[in-house]
Structure 1
Amino acid sequence: MPRFDSDPVFCALLQNGQTPDRGHYAIELQDFTHSEQRYLPNTAILATTLYDEHGGMVEVQDFAPRFERFGRKFRPVMLVRRIRLIAGSPRICIRLRPAYGYGAGKPGLTYGSNHIRYVCPDQVLRLTTNASVTAIVDEVPFVLEDDITLLLGPDESIHQPIPDVGREYFERTHDYWRNWVRYLGIPFEWQDEVIRSAITLKLSSYEDTGAIIAALTTSIPEAPGSQRNWDYRYCWLRDSYFVVNALNRLGATKTMEDYLQYIINTTANARGGRLLPVYRINGKADLEEREIPQLPGFRGMGPVRVGNQAYTQIQNDVYGASVLAAAHVFFDRRIANPGNEALFTRLEGLGELAYQHYQEPDAGLWEFRGIAGVHTFTAVMSWSGCQTLAHIAEHLGLQERAQHWYRRAAEMRQVIDANAWDEQRQTYVATFGGKHLDASLLLLRELGYLKADDPRFANTVTAIEKELRHGDFLYRYIREDDFGKPTNAFTICTFWYIDALTALGRREEARALFENVLRCRNPLGLLSEDVETDTRELWGNFPQTYSMVGLINSAMRLSKPWEGAY
């Protein structure tokens, strides 16, 4: 709290049990036997049912309030927990132990008749509750005789009856999410899976600035003991393009409009016009990477990193990705403030940078730390941005500018084909003049560079599946990088492969692979960044927006049409 990229209040996932006196918030049922957990349908409200050996049952509802109030969105930085008595006479213990300084510090504590204040150097948290304050402070188990409400947030007083506040927040938040989902354009098949993915993507948007983070966690390893532990609580311009594209496909346009403002503000503040690949959610680039020695890491597999050194890298695809993310506002009639000539002029500056740098070596979308090359994906994303500018100019009636960008795109295509196509192997390759493949080449059709019936696309897909497919999953690449060879499959790459097979007419094979990935989700329907191909265990930061985007896109393409489906 108070932001995605803030010092974590609860960091037990990275503590590995070493500092049990801080960093977690537990509702413990005495004589506990088992539990069940689910989201309430079509909401972001989590319900956990706890059972004891005497027939007692307790339900814990967790949510962040979100609804319309006084003509604007009410979304306080607050976690609401409602503990509901379902059956019996269960005994519970509430252990609320915040931390600060990435697990290094334990807050000071003061309390009154209905609240507890946790005093950290940078903020004060207040728990307001109708439970016994003494029972919480001293962590004394007690018999749950009536429902309890726990409001954890800023150090602000609550002036209404606490159970009434909890009930109102619950009901209005429940209605908000149900109404939001009602207006999604979902496929006939896999509706629950797509709805859960869409809600997860919306939860990854920081609406105050429009930034979209890559994942909610830091330092969950990509594979056991791999040292591939990164902080993903920031906004990657490329990843965000894929997120807004998926949400727009579902009809959720507001996230895209908010993100466009983030791009405009970030571009305006860019030094020398150059864009970085990743920014904080406030648009700043102070992302110096450091390790946190006091946190042993997920299952003891450190290091835990804060910040991300990718912000120092050159990743030239960001210009094309930013143009593509903004392009929707020129063509989508649902947008409240459609794109105009002034916005187009801003985007032209990004197009010029795409054109200037598309042939230069960069770290690529996989963010190699010690390897640079002229990456085909970067060049094609840059080409797509320039081609899209031509379409926008034509749409606005700016024929001279349209012809300018068409000429630029045609020139870029000639260069790409001359350098990225391996005539001997009959496939596109990952870098100009290189021999390696990577899964981003599966996006050549998605980005409009090749048509599905172009033999070069089919040949490239065939080459990739021979080299990168492992069982039912796809690796992003198999070459050695700064940390050796990858040992887990990158989830989004499998979805890209599924989409490519669908485009080539191999739908039954694609459906089987899609169902296989769905079986890898956790019980709540969420996916992380990576999958261990033999055990199907999830690894990497979680939940990963890239992965949820892939699920939405593949479901939309594979589903039976609504017409005649039942």
Structure 2
Amino acid sequence: MNPPTTTEHPAHTGFAAPAAPSLSLGVVGNCAFSALIDPHGRVVWSCLPRFDGDPVFHALLGGEDGAGAFAIEIEHLDKARQYYDPNTAVLHTELWDTQGQGILITDFAPRFPSRGRFFRPTMLVRRVRPLQGAPRVRVSLTPRFNWGAEMPTITSGSNHIRYVGEQQTLRLHTDASVSHVLSQQPFLLTRELNFLLGPDETLEGGVGETARHFEQETLTYWRGWSQRLALPLEWQEAVIRAAITLKLSMFEDTGAIVAAMTTSIPEAPGTQRNWDYRYCWLRDAFFVVRALNSLAEVGTMEDYLRWLSNAVVGSNGGHVQPLFGIGLERDLPERICKNLPGYRGMGPVRVGNQAHEHFQHDVYGNIVLGAAQAFHDRRLLNPAGLAEFKQLEAAGEKAVLIFDQPDAGMWELRTRARVHTSSALMCWAACDRLAKIALTLQQGERAAYWQQHARAMRERILRESWSEERQAFAAAFGAHDLDASVLLMAEVGFIDPMDPRFIATLDALEKNLCDGPYMRRYDAADDFGKPEVAFNICTFWRIDALARVGRVDEARAIFETMLRARNPLGMLSEDTHATTGEMWGNYPQTYSMVGIINAAVRLSAAWDTVI
């Protein structure tokens, strides 16, 4: 089990200054929105009313001193401890002062079935109670609108405070002193207090009873959800936390899955590799769906297929862009937000993502792979059939047309187009899986058609991506530089992992892209130079490849290293600095959490070894 976050502080007078930003953050959410909470119980990031909305709490990316956060502080802070209620998305933060007095902050976003649907309001619930003594606390609630540029107008009543902006209004319901909250006046905490922050609507019940009811129902939901997971024997706590984090990354209203909950956390210090990941990439979403499917959590796939069908049908059989807004928005213009200085002052802060304009040809394979299980899995409420297969064939036909054409590749290179091996590989996967689906549907003629295309593509890829100079499959047709994404060849069933060419490729990648256990993406310079940090999913691809070629002990050792690289709450961002071990890149990164699940499932001992 992951140890709780524990931080020590020297004795001091008064209230501590906010800690420097880090990615040691708890995540709460309910498949409608999320909030990131630092080790001292301070909400430092939350976009409302949904994942890609206005960050009303933006302290993670800086801004006006003390603004853009929701803090519940203890005077004379001495130590802090943070942990999740087991198998749930309910987060606890203990704060203790120098006199041994303590408080417990409980954070969650309500999620539970009610009236035949899931109740998931855009509401953050914060509950605080004394653990020992009657410590002095201070509540500081300073939302900002329009990316930090707009200070809200504040109005209040006997048990609520309204934060009014041009585009949205938030209402805090509380049984604490409204005056103390408005003035940020310290006060003695002698009883339980509750804070419910959400839309400008009244509560049906009392503040305390509503908070208690929401907490109990939310705990019950997550415990039941976790209980139904088909877990590997080993590393269960890590897998459960990864699975919950992936579930929290879904925008259930449409079925979209965000790549991460943040924007503009640099991939490496001072590099300007800062991107907005609060959107749905078809590539990332496929990997999320497949990982959860491996744990028998198919509900996320059913929701995602609803989103995917709308995205693909909207393309009318033509070009499909690699990412969309979570509401199926196609236009995501990229701009620089000048109001916020960025994570640790390392701007720019980007809003939107220019990659929506890219041609990334692996997308067609991701479409087919993301939908394939729906044709074979009899557990689904709405299994796919012949009509869905015919729609999916349009993606396959597009893959046939463009599989050997230059594109931006899965790493979204902005100034260089080539025939990327990974893109061609996924086009092959589209044809291969369509053939298998056709056989399941007893469509023999169509199966033969897709098998023919898959064979032809495979021959081209094996021939044109192989580099005699590097003795490895290269990043692109006719190229000699290396790219970790070719390891997917074994994972998607393109090549026998014991093929000497695959083994040689793995050796070459380890020699040229690895910094100890960690693996970088590629060895050629891109728009910003050569990558400096390890890309976590590449390390997990290496783990998978090692296991497939029989180097299981090495795979397990590297997996244990990656588990230690997580923050104390069990989560990973996009990148790991091989020297410092620090996390970089957007957070929490679905790709990375997928890697935890995949590695545990592949490497775990079987249940029949203990029962």
TM-score bracket for this pair, using the shorter chain length: over 0.9
1:497 aligns with 2:526: no
Contact 2:469–2:480 at 8 Å: present in 1 too?
no
1:420 aligns with 2:465: yes
Residue aligned with 2:64, SS: coil
TM-fit CA distance, 1:273: 2.2
Q: Alignment partner for residue 200 of structure 1, among 221, 245, 262?
A: 245
1:346 aligns with 2:391: yes
1:2 aligns with 2:49: yes
Q: Alignment partner for residue 555 of structure 2, among 500, 507, 510?
A: 510
Residue aligned with 1:348, SS: helix
1:533 aligns with 2:591: no
User: Which residue number in structure 2 is paired with residue 549 of structure 1?
Assistant: 594
Residues in 1 aligned to 2:546 and 2:437: alpha-carbon distance in whole angstroms = 30
User: Which residue number in structure 2 is paired with residue 176 of structure 1?
Assistant: 221
User: Which residue number in structure 2 is paired with residue 81 of structure 1?
Assistant: 126
Q: Alignment partner for residue 262 of structure 1, among 297, 302, 307?
A: 307
TM-fit CA distance, 1:168: 0.5
Structure 2: which amino acid aligns with 1:20? D
Contact 1:507–1:558 at 8 Å: present in 2 too?
yes
Residue aligned with 1:563, SS: helix
Residue aligned with 1:48, SS: strand
Structure 2: which amino acid aligns with 1:228? R
User: Which residue number in structure 1 is paired with residue 319 of structure 2?
Assistant: 274
Residues in 2 aligned to 1:159 and 1:331: alpha-carbon distance in whole angstroms = 45
Question: Mapping of 1:278-317 within 5 angstroms?
Answer: 278-317=323-362
1:430 aligns with 2:478: no
Residues in 1 aligned to 2:465 and 2:258: alpha-carbon distance in whole angstroms = 31
Structure 2: which amino acid aligns with 1:11? H
User: Which residue number in structure 2 is paired with residue 148 of structure 1?
Assistant: 193
Q: Alignment partner for residue 476 of structure 1, among 521, 539, 542?
A: 521
User: Which residue number in structure 2 is paired with residue 446 of structure 1?
Assistant: 491
User: Which residue number in structure 2 is paired with residue 126 of structure 1?
Assistant: 171
Residues in 2 aligned to 1:86 and 1:55: alpha-carbon distance in whole angstroms = 10
Residues in 2 aligned to 1:65 and 1:501: alpha-carbon distance in whole angstroms = 41
Question: Mapping of 1:153-232 within 5 angstroms?
Answer: 153-232=198-277
Residues in 1 aligned to 2:129 and 2:278: alpha-carbon distance in whole angstroms = 33
TM-fit CA distance, 1:423: 3.6
Structure 1: which amino acid aligns with 2:500? P
Q: Alignment partner for residue 89 of structure 2, among 44, 47, 56?
A: 44
User: Which residue number in structure 1 is paired with residue 61 of structure 2?
Assistant: 14
Give TM-score, length-normalised by structure 1.
0.98
Q: Alignment partner for residue 520 of structure 1, among 565, 568, 579?
A: 565
| 1:160-215, Cα deviation, whole Å (9 max, x unpaired) | 11111000000010010000000001111100000000000000000000000000
TM-fit CA distance, 1:22: 2.5
Structure 2: which amino acid aligns with 1:7? D
TM-fit CA distance, 1:20: 2.2
Residue aligned with 1:415, SS: helix
Distance verdict in 2 for CA 1:7–1:95, change over 3 Å: same
Residues in 1 aligned to 2:276 and 2:582: alpha-carbon distance in whole angstroms = 20
Structure 2: which amino acid aligns with 1:519? R
- Runs of 4+ aligned structure 1 residues displaced above 3 Å come to 423-426
Task: List alignment gaps of at least 5 residues for structure 1.
Answer: none
Structure 1: which amino acid aligns with 2:321? L
User: Which residue number in structure 2 is paired with residue 66 of structure 1?
Assistant: 111
Structure 1: which amino acid aligns with 2:357? T
Contact 1:387–1:409 at 8 Å: present in 2 too?
yes
Larger deviation: 109-118 or 269-278?
A: 269-278
Q: Alignment partner for residue 404 of structure 2, among 356, 359, 363?
A: 359
Contact 1:376–1:430 at 8 Å: present in 2 too?
yes
Residues in 1 aligned to 2:551 and 2:102: alpha-carbon distance in whole angstroms = 49
Q: Alignment partner for residue 446 of structure 2, among 377, 401, 417?
A: 401
Contact 1:22–1:106 at 8 Å: present in 2 too?
no
Residues in 1 aligned to 2:238 and 2:317: alpha-carbon distance in whole angstroms = 43
| 1:510-552, Cα deviation, whole Å (9 max, x unpaired) | 1111101111100100000001001100001011000000010
1:373 aligns with 2:418: yes
Question: Mapping of 1:101-112 within 5 angstroms?
Answer: 101-112=146-157
Residues in 2 aligned to 1:338 and 1:377: alpha-carbon distance in whole angstroms = 29
| 1:231-258, Cα deviation, whole Å (9 max, x unpaired) | 0000000010000000000011011011
User: Which residue number in structure 2 is paired with residue 245 of structure 1?
Assistant: 290
Residues in 2 aligned to 1:52 and 1:30: alpha-carbon distance in whole angstroms = 7
Structure 2: which amino acid aligns with 1:209? T
Residues in 2 aligned to 1:245 and 1:109: alpha-carbon distance in whole angstroms = 46
Task: List alignment gaps of at least 5 residues for structure 2.
Answer: 1-47
Residue aligned with 1:273, SS: coil
Identical pairs, percent:
53
Residue aligned with 1:131, SS: coil
Give TM-score, length-normalised by structure 2.
0.91
TM-fit CA distance, 1:271: 6.2
Residues in 1 aligned to 2:309 and 2:510: alpha-carbon distance in whole angstroms = 39
Contact 2:470–2:480 at 8 Å: present in 1 too?
no
TM-fit CA distance, 1:225: 0.3
User: Which residue number in structure 1 is paired with residue 16 of structure 2?
Assistant: none
TM-fit CA distance, 1:159: 2.6
Residues in 2 aligned to 1:335 and 1:460: alpha-carbon distance in whole angstroms = 38
Q: CA RMSD in A?
A: 1.0
User: Which residue number in structure 2 is paired with residue 386 of structure 1?
Assistant: 431
TM-fit CA distance, 1:428: 1.1
TM-fit CA distance, 1:425: 3.8
TM-fit CA distance, 1:422: 2.1
TM-fit CA distance, 1:53: 1.5
TM-fit CA distance, 1:270: 2.1
TM-fit CA distance, 1:453: 2.1
User: Which residue number in structure 2 is paired with residue 97 of structure 1?
Assistant: 142
Contact 2:317–2:395 at 8 Å: present in 1 too?
no
Residues in 2 aligned to 1:302 and 1:271: alpha-carbon distance in whole angstroms = 38
